[in-house]
Amino acid sequence: MVWTFIGAIAAILTSLSFIPQIARALRTKSVKDVSLVTVYQLSLGVTLWIIYGFYRRDPIIICANSISLITLIILIYLYFNYSLPQKQEKGAK
């Protein structure tokens, strides 16, 4: 029982871990120090975890990684929203 609880807390903490990063990006409107390779690599990784979860019929794997993927897609959207105008500004100078 206590182990299931530890596993559940672990899944919640890791799957929601990019929420503070999204909040920071929204607040500062700056993402230049965030590695896009890390975000892409994680997105591909959790997508494969979701596929693996369907094979194992494990709702925890599917659910936790789907939440991660949604937050990562939001972060990629913010990345291009905030980093492209900065680059264009630099190009115009």
> Which residues contact its own copies by CB under 8 A?
3, 6-7, 9-14, 16-21, 23-25, 28, 30-35, 37-38, 41-42, 44-46, 48-49, 51-52, 55-56
Contact (CB, 8 A) for 61 and 15:
no
* Least separation in angstroms between CB 25 and its own copies: 7
* Least separation in angstroms between CB 19 and its own copies: 8
* Least separation in angstroms between CB 84 and its own copies: 15
CA distances (Å), origin 62, targets 3, 7, 49, 55, 83: 20, 14, 7, 10, 31
Question: Using CA atoms, how far apart are residues 49 and 57, in angstroms rounded to an integer?
Answer: 12
